[in-house]
Amino acid sequence: MPSFDIVSKIDAQTLDNAINNAKKEILNRYDFNTSKSTIELDKKTNLITIVTEDDMRLKAIIDSIISRMMKQNLDANSLDFGKETIASGNMIRKEITVKEGIDRETAKKIVAKIKDSKLKVQPSMMDDQVRVQSKNIDDLQKVIQLCRSEDFGQPLQYINMRN
């Protein structure tokens, strides 16, 4: 029975490259000449930590990260911006989590949308992905087009197409 999986993943090496390019850009900018700003990526927890002096620099760093991600063909919707907290002294810390995997609520929305389409497919939630099965490959391709036309709040990839 033909099937495919709907997942939400970010390539860790590409994300690392985008963050490193953003670091280089910030270090070379004139308005960050005397700044003590830092950008760090924790690869295990997929957490980007930004520490800087003020809101203007924080927004510039975030814009730089997003533009570098776009140039690396990564979707910025995978970033979950947390609240700013005050670090030591007059520094501001912002933690940005990179969303990986489809959470339960989003998976329920995807399954409901597929079932509402009245296509002859069987969607099922499996951990952090959604598997779609059908007897007809054309119906699977219609499901992919349906999911691409909707915005579920995070980037989706369609993998493991099997006959």
Q: What is the CA radius of gyration of the chain?
A: 20
Domain endpoint, select from 83, 98, 113: 98
What's the mean pLDDT in 25-49? 91
pLDDT the model gives residue 70: 94
Are residues 60 and 46 both part of a single domain? yes
Domain with 131, as residue range(s), is: 3-8+101-162
Clarify whether residues 55 and 119 are in a common domain. Answer: no
Please report the pLDDT score of residue 83 as a whole number.
86
Regarding whether 112 and 126 lie in a shared domain, the answer is: yes
pLDDT of residue 89: 80
Q: What is the pLDDT of residues 96-132, one digit of tens each?
A: 999 888 988 899 999 999 988 888 889 899 888 999 9
Pair (63, 91) in one structural domain = yes
Q: What is the mean pLDDT of residues 134-161?
A: 89
Question: Which is nearest to 99 in space by CA: 61, 150, 154, 44?
Answer: 154
Cα separation, 45 vs 58, in Å, equals: 21
Which domain-ending residue is among 82, 98, 114?
98
25/58 same-domain check: yes
Structure tokens at 29: 């900018």
Buried b (16+ CB within 10 A) or exposed e, 57-67: bbebbbebbee
Number of structural domains found in the chain: 2
Average pLDDT over residues 19-25: 94
79 is written with which tokens?
């970033």
Angle at 148 between CA 147 and CA 150, to 5 degrees: 65
Domain shared by 115 and 49, yes or no: no
The pLDDT of residue 48 is 94
pLDDT in tens, 45-94: 999 999 999 889 999 999 999 999 999 999 988 999 988 888 778 899 99
The domain that contains 128 carries what CATH number? Answer: 3.30.70.860
Residue 67 C-beta-side C-alpha neighbours within 13 Å: 11
Report in angstroms the alpha-carbon separations of 52 from 37, 67, 98: 4, 19, 20
Q: What is the pLDDT of residue 136?
A: 87
The DSSP call for residue 150 is: S
CA distance 130 to 62: 31
Report the Cα–Cα distance between both ends of the chain, in Å, rounded.
6
Looking at the structure, tell me whether residues 21 and 87 fall in a common domain.
Answer: yes
- Mean per-residue pLDDT, 17-26: 94
